[in-house]
Amino acid sequence: MPEPLLEVDNLSVSYLTDTADIGAVDRVSLTVHAGEFLGIVGESGCGKSTLLFAIAQLLTPPAEITSGRVVFKGQDLVQLTDGELRHVRWRDYSVVMQSAMNALNPMKSIAAQFKDTMRAHGRMSADAIRTRSTEVLHLVGIDAAHLDSYPHQLSGGMRQRAMIAMALLFTPQLVIMDEPTSALDVVAQRSLMTQIKELQQQFGFAVIFVTHDMSVVAHYSDRVMVMYAGQVAEIGATSSIFERPLHPYSKGLLDAFPSVHGPRRALTGIPGSPPDLGRPPSGCRFHPRCSEAMAQCTTSEPDLYIVGETEVRCLLYAERLRDAV
């Protein structure tokens, strides 16, 4: 097995407030290999965006990494100073934010924003900058005529593509994406996902793709991590999680989708709402909403158990493993 590109080891992030420390990310470990597509799925408030910001070293107070390491290409990013980070960030890994409308500067043309980015990472001639800008826009299927457009002149899908173009300026090895498709319609969403996948195959970068919509990553990711209440609920190969979800939460998420094919089934959804991370439930954090909760779920906290090639945080599997021995 080659050395992973990114290794997140027991990463915890807290929001330090006056009244309580809110543990938004709790001991998350994951690895991403070169060229891999990892989907991170969870509901709003489950800590998925915080995790992503922690990996990219973009957290601002009151959020703080309280423990753990983020090893990227052999370097622990958590220990780097801002100056050292500046050499790595965007050149070796880049981030595509959720809302391109807010992430792009409304006062500057696309070309000017690309230029700022490139100037921040080295000296380049104006011609070289223009050529590279045209190239990356072409990659995402936008006509170079739009280089001089302002963000408001582009449609939602085009803005999101421009963000992706910006992330590819230096051909990084890892692109971190925070719900890039959530503001788009189904047709635009599928077209963007197809594009991301094609670019990934062309350039071989790894992708971490955060989304609340499980169906989006189903066809594109190699592995999926399901997050609940700041923790990894389940992580494994996409195909096995979609065919045989182990965690009751993953099952619930999959069952919450109405389908356009096959017989119409009643949807159950998942009762209740995600917990307040300032006061997480005792034992398993999912037990108040879980249809398969047992007595010990309220008291003992499950570990991640390895079932086949999937890791799952659920006491059901602790029992089964014990029985099997």
User: What residue ranges bind another protein (CB under 8 A)?
Assistant: 43-44, 141, 155-158, 184-192, 194-195, 198, 212-216, 218-219, 242, 252-254, 256-262, 264, 266-271, 273-274
* Sheet of 75-76, strands arranged across: 21-32, 6-16, 63-72, 75-76
Q: Which is nearer to another protein, 131 or 239 (CB)?
A: 239
Residue 308 is which amino acid?
Answer: G
- Rounded to a whole number of angstroms, the minimum distance from the CB of residue 220 to another protein is 8
We find the least distance from the C-beta atom of residue 254 to another protein, in angstroms, to be 6
Which residue, 113 or 189, is less far from another protein as judged by CB? 189
Residue 105 beta carbon to another protein: minimum distance, rounded to whole angstroms: 23
Q: Is-contact 316 292, C-beta < 8 A?
A: yes
CA distance 86 to 277: 32
- Beta-strand ranges (E) seen in the chain are 6-16, 21-32, 37-41, 63-72, 75-76, 93-96, 174-178, 206-211, 223-228, 231-237, 305-307, 310-312
Give the residue with the Cβ less far from another protein, 106 or 262. 262
Nearer to another protein, 23 or 274 (CB): 274
| Closer residue to another protein in complex, CB, 86/219 | 219
What's the rounded Cα separation, in Å, for the pair 99 and 132?
A: 24
In the complex with another protein, the residue whose CB is nearer, 70 or 241, is: 241
Min dist. Cβ of residue 7 to another protein (A) = 28
Least distance CB 290 / another protein (angstroms): 12
Q: Residue 34 or residue 183: which is nearer to another protein going by CB?
A: 183
Q: Burial level of 97, CB count in 10 A (0-12/13-18/19+)?
A: buried
Q: Name the amino acid, one letter, at 67.
A: S
CB of 277 to another protein, least distance (A): 13
**Alpha helices (H) in 140-260, listed in sequence order:** 156-167, 186-203, 214-218, 238-243, 248-255
Which helix (H) or strand (E) element contains residue 132?
Answer: helix 126-139
What's the angle, vertex CA 172, arms to CA 167 and CA 178, rounded to 5?
A: 45
Q: How does DSSP classify residue 262?
A: S
Cβ 31 to another protein shortest distance, Å? 24
